[in-house]
Amino acid sequence: MKSIYDFIIQPLGDKYSNTVKIAGADVVVNTKIENWKFVNRLAVVIQTPLAFNSKIKIGDIIVIHQNVFRTFYDMKGQKKKSRSYFKDDLYFCAVDQVYLYKNKTGWHSFGDRCFIKPIKDNDSLTLDKEQKLIGILKYSNSSLEALKINQGDLVGYTPNGEWEFLVENERLYCMKSNDIVIKYEHEGNEVEYNPKKKLRFVVLLKGDLNNVYANFI
């Protein structure tokens, strides 16, 4: 069983992350399939595409677009699986729907994606504690490395291109390489910004990758 252009994948856990662990108990935080924020974005690779060679191998864990496992109601009110559905518990996943993957050596960005770690704003006059449009490059890629922009560099990026994730308890922004527009010199006082009080839902990717939980930060 091989797909020509897409990965064949299986959800890692349930298709929706509708509960959170609080003091050892499961707390329901979502009951609606329409809410894309609660769709599981972790998958296991079952087969790789025939059309090209990929660094992603069978058995790797990948972070994907929320629409792959998403369920919806059609105009007749009937529940439908996404257009990515294949059969049983298997789905097709296009190359441009994969953002990050993990193999035996750790996490790696995929394709033209990169991940930025936000930092604190040291300006005491601002109410926003996060430095806008500036962060530390956490996961780079070959396009950026060719420009000598590497992991750990302080970079600036364009607005509205970032997508928020929590990866192993780190709050990160995913974006494309061309969203990175400047490389700064470190001032030495940059501090990671990982707030715990924003009421925004994100996917929490646990370090052991055995479970996916919803988390409010």
pLDDT above 90 coverage of the chain, percent: 49
- Return the number of other C-beta atoms located less than 10 Å from residue 210's C-beta: 8
What mean pLDDT comes out for the span 52-72? 91
Distances (CA, A) of 116 to 26, 87, 121: 31, 35, 15
Distances (CA, A) of 82 to 44, 70, 72, 85, 103: 18, 6, 7, 6, 27
Contact 182, 20 (CB under 8 A): no
**Per-residue model confidence as pLDDT tens digits over 72-100:** 888 888 888 889 999 999 999 999 999 99
Is the predicted pLDDT of residue 32 greater than 80, yes or no?
no
Q: How confident is the model at residue 5 (pLDDT cuts 50, 70, 90)?
A: very high
What mean pLDDT comes out for the span 177-200? 71
Whole-prediction pTM: 0.76
Query: What pLDDT, on a 0 to 100 scale, did the predictor assign at position 212?
Result: 39
Contact 171, 160 (CB under 8 A): no
Is the predicted pLDDT of residue 214 greater than 60, yes or no?
no
Least confident window among 13-22, 156-165, 186-195: 186-195
What mean pLDDT comes out for the span 123-130? 70
In 3D space, the residue among 51, 49, 67, 69 whose CA is nearest the CA of residue 6 turns out to be 49
Spatial distance between the Cα atoms of 86 and 42, rounded to a whole number of angstroms: 17
Q: Is 137 helix (H, G, I), strand (E, B) or coil?
A: strand
Query: What pLDDT, on a 0 to 100 scale, did the predictor assign at position 207?
Result: 44
Query: What pLDDT, on a 0 to 100 scale, did the predictor assign at position 145?
Result: 95
DSSP 146: H
Comparing 1 with 182, which gets the higher pLDDT?
182
Q: Residues in the chain, how many? A: 217
Alpha helices, DSSP H only, in the chain? 142-146
